[in-house]
């Protein structure tokens, strides 16, 4: 599918403004490549990018492209902790006792040593005075002054443990607890000895010092179970008040002294003021010189997705190597978070 910008051919004495048509073509093109998850496209006189990947952007300063296909100066990433984390946490058992083949063993840090190898050198199991684990807890404490945003966990255990109901919770005082996960069934390994048996994911933006497992109604034990490895998924949020990024260079078929653009964006928090919080500059000499655009609003692109444009901006330094630069200002986590989701450049 080829989308071509409509040029004003005109007739002597007649002035025709086709910017509205060109803006409609830009909006249609952005919708097509977004719906089909296409990489950025450069045409003869118009380009499109909805950030399916990072191939069409460069010079990212205090901004990041999110896997959800937007660019913002307030960004987050979620990764599992790996390696030996025994020194990061103090582990406390409530209503449980840790044991191995050599008798009681209160040091259960091996669950965080980065290895899910079998055997007593890397595994341990717990015991309970009764048959019902309801209310039993395993608490992980980062220590005073430390906290993390937990968004999931995966854990490995061997066989000999019956199904039971458990819950992940977070706290900053060790007494008031917030449910993070839904109640889940803790299932034992079938005996393969090589797979993660449980993974629980949840939405969370609050940092906690403590995270714990709590047995729920129906959490029971019928034997011993080697606990071999636990990893928490942690969200990291970076927030910069200002930031910017540029497009890679687009080669125009002829020297260009007028450019336009259509942008799509979301107000994830707060409301961005065009030309103050969201700023566009255009260049025809590969970014050596930029001209500041004045963005004006267009009708919403979709539910919750805003749209704005500039048409026929005069470019002081004409050329064939075209670029745009988008800048953010006054950004703040939870207060003003602007996400750019698409750019169509007209030339």
Strand stretches in 51-145, DSSP E: 57-61, 64-66, 70-72, 74-80, 90-94, 97-100, 103-104, 125-127, 137-141
Q: Which residues pair with 265 in a beta bridge?
A: 306, 340
* Residues paired with residue 273 on neighbouring β-strands, in sequence order: none
DSSP secondary structure string for all residues of 69-81:
TEEESEEEEEEE-
- Is there a single domain that holds both residue 186 and residue 171? yes
Q: Domain end: 211, 238, 265, which one?
A: 238
**For the chain, how big is the Rg over CA atoms in Å?**
28
- At residue 4, the pLDDT reads 44
Furthest-apart CA pair in the chain: how many Å?
A: 98
Query: How would DSSP label each residue in 137-161?
Result: EEEEE--TT--BEEEEEEEEE-SS-
Q: What is the pLDDT along the chain (347 residues), one digit of tens a residue?
A: 444 444 444 444 444 566 777 788 888 878 888 777 777 888 778 999 999 999 999 999 999 998 889 999 998 888 999 899 989 999 998 887 776 654 445 567 778 888 765 544 555 666 665 566 788 899 999 999 999 999 999 887 655 554 568 899 999 999 999 999 999 877 655 555 555 678 899 999 899 999 999 988 765 554 455 667 889 999 998 899 999 999 999 999 999 999 999 999 999 999 999 999 999 999 999 999 999 999 999 999 999 999 999 999 999 999 999 999 999 999 998 899 999 999 999 99
Q: Note whether residue 157 is domain-resident.
A: yes
Sign for the pseudo-dihedral over CA of 62, 65, 68, 70: positive
Last residue in a domain, options 192, 221, 238: 238
Determine the straight-line distance between the first and last CA of the chain, rounded to whole angstroms. 19
Which of 206, 238, 270 is at the close of a domain? Answer: 238
Range of the domain at 285: 19-73+241-346
The answer to whether residue 250 is domain-embedded is yes
Claim to verify: residue 255 and residue 332 sit in the same structural domain: yes
Residues 96 and 180 in one domain: yes
Please indicate, yes or no, if residue 179 is contained in any of the structural domains. Answer: yes
Same domain, 234 and 332: no
Dist CA 288 CA 305 (whole Å)? 32
User: Same domain for 330 and 288?
Assistant: yes
DSSP code per residue over 21-54: HHHHHHHHHHHHHHHTTPPPEE-SSEEEE--SSS
25 plus 41 within the same structural domain: yes
Domain presence at residue 316: yes
Shared domain for 192 and 251, answered yes or no, is no
Q: Both 57 and 117 in a single domain?
A: no
Kind and range of the H or E run holding 20: helix 19-35
Beta carbons within 8 Å of 59's beta carbon, 6+ residues apart: 244, 245, 246, 287, 325
How many structural domains is the chain composed of? 2
Give residue 2's pLDDT: 41
**Of the candidates 278, 277, 284, 243, the residue with the CA atom closest to the CA atom of residue 260:** 284
In a domain, 2, yes or no: no
CA angle (328 as vertex; 323, 329 as ends), nearest 5:
140
Q: How would you list the strands of the sheet with 97-100, edge to edge?
A: 103-104, 97-100, 125-127
Residue 270, number of CB atoms within 10 A of its CB: 15
In a domain, 5, yes or no: no
Claim to verify: residue 210 and residue 152 sit in the same structural domain: yes
Q: Is position 10 within any domain?
A: no
246 with 206, same domain: the answer is no
| Structure tokens belonging to residue 316 | 């002081």
Instruction: Based on the fold, state whether residues 159 and 256 are members of the same structural domain.
Output: no
**Which of 232, 189, 238, 190 shows the shortest CA–CA distance to 212?**
232
Domain holding 305: CATH number? 2.60.120.260
Domain assignment present for residue 8? The answer is no
Beta bridge partners of 274: 278
Q: Are both 217 and 113 inside the same structural domain?
A: yes
């Amino acid at each position: 599918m080829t989308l071509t910008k409509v040029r004003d051919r005109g007739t002597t004495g007649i002035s025709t403004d086709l910017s509205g048509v060109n803006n409609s073509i830009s909006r249609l093109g952005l919708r097509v490549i977004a719906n089909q998850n296409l990489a950025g496209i450069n045409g003869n006189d118009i380009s499109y990018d909805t950030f399916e990947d990072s191939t069409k952007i460069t010079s990212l300063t205090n901004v990041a492209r999110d896997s959800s296909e937007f660019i913002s100066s307030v960004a987050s990433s979620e990764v599992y902790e790996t390696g030996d984390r025994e020194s990061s946490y103090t582990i406390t058992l409530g209503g449980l006792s840790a044991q191995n083949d050599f008798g009681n063993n209160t040091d259960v840090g091996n669950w965080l040593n980065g290895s899910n190898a079998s055997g007593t050198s890397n595994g341990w199991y717990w015991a309970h005075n009764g048959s019902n684990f309801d209310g039993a807890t395993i608490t992980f404490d980062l220590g005073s002054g430390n906290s993390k945003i937990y968004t999931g966990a995966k854990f490995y255990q061997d066989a000999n443990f019956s199904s039971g109901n458990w819950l992940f919770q977070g706290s900053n005082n060790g007494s008031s607890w917030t449910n993070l996960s839904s109640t889940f069934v803790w299932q034992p390994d079938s005996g393969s000895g090589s797979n993660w048996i449980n993974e629980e994911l949840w939405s969370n933006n609050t940092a906690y010092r403590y995270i714990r497992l709590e047995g729920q109604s129906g959490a029971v034990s019928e034997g011993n179970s080697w606990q071999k490895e636990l990893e928490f998924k942690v969200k990291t949020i970076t927030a910069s008040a200002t930031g910017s990024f540029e497009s890679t260079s687009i080669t125009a078929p002829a020297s260009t002294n007028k450019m336009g653009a259509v942008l799509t964006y979301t107000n994830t928090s707060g409301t961005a003021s065009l030309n103050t919080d969201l700023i566009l500059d255009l260049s025809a000499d590969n970014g050596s010189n930029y001209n500041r655009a004045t963005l004006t609003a267009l009708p919403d692109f979709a539910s919750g997705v805003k749209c704005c444009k500039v048409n026929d901006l005069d470019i002081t330094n004409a050329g064939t190597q075209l670029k745009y630069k988008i800048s953010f200002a006054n950004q703040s986590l939870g207060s003003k978070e602007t996400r750019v989701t698409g750019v169509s450049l007209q030339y």
